[in-house]
Structure 1
């Protein structure tokens, strides 16, 4: 846990989050500025700065995050979703605690291909 991390503060329950799902190692809560009908952040309880560090340091938790993302998509998006990680400020990461954005709930008008 990091004392100056917004997500660590939400995980600790010191500030509210609109929780969707919680496990022993992962939490999921709604984004405060959603970009789609469903926009949920999937976050490990362990403070790790980005997805590459998560793959290196807590790969089993990263796998659990994927399972949680699918559970949310199954419940809210008919099982179809995008799972987006921003790594670095220029890529749009504003909280440096790894988190995957579960995006779905309708036709999405952005296609990276």
Structure 2
């Protein structure tokens, strides 16, 4: 845990998050600044600063399984959704604790960004 990390504080119960899913290793919350009508963050409970810092590739499988569960529970599986991982400040990562954005509820453009 990082003392100044907002996601670590949510995971540890120091800050309230709107939790939509949780298991032993992952928590999913509603984004407080949504970029789509449905915007969730899927976050590993272990503090990993960026996607570049992932050492155990099984973490990606666990995160994507959580994305699927959240999409299903929130009624987005049939609607369609976008999954985004930002890595580093140039890619607009603003919280340096790995997280996946799950966005849905509007039409997205291509290419992104």
TM-score after normalising by structure 1: 0.90
Cα shift readout 1:82-101 (whole Å, capped 9, x = no counterpart) = 11011111211110000000
Equivalent residue number for residue 9 of structure 2: 9
Question: Which consecutive residues of structure 1, in runs of 5 or more, have no partner in the other structure?
Answer: none
Higher helix share: 1
Q: Secondary structure at the match of 1:73?
A: helix
Q: Flag as ranges the 4+ runs of structure 1 deviating above 2 A.
A: 105-108
Structure 2 unmatched ranges of 5 or more: none
Distance 1:67 1:25 in 2: 12
Q: 1:74 aligns with which of 34, 53, 72?
A: 72
- State the TM-score, normalizing by the size of structure 2: 0.90
- What RMSD over aligned residues (CA atoms) do the two structures have, in Å? 1.4
1:107 CA drift (Å) = 2.4
Aligned 8 A contact 2:68 2:77 in 1: no
Question: SS at the partner of 1:9?
Answer: helix
The alignment partner of 1:47 has SS state of: coil
* Residue 78 of structure 1, CA deviation: 2.8
CA distance in 1, matches of 2:96, 2:106: 29
Distance 1:58 1:23 in 2: 18
Residue 106 (structure 1) aligned with residue 106 (structure 2)? yes
Q: What is the total number of aligned residue pairs between the two structures? A: 110
Distance in 2 of aligned mates of 1:81 and 1:68: 14
Match of 1:33 in 2: 33
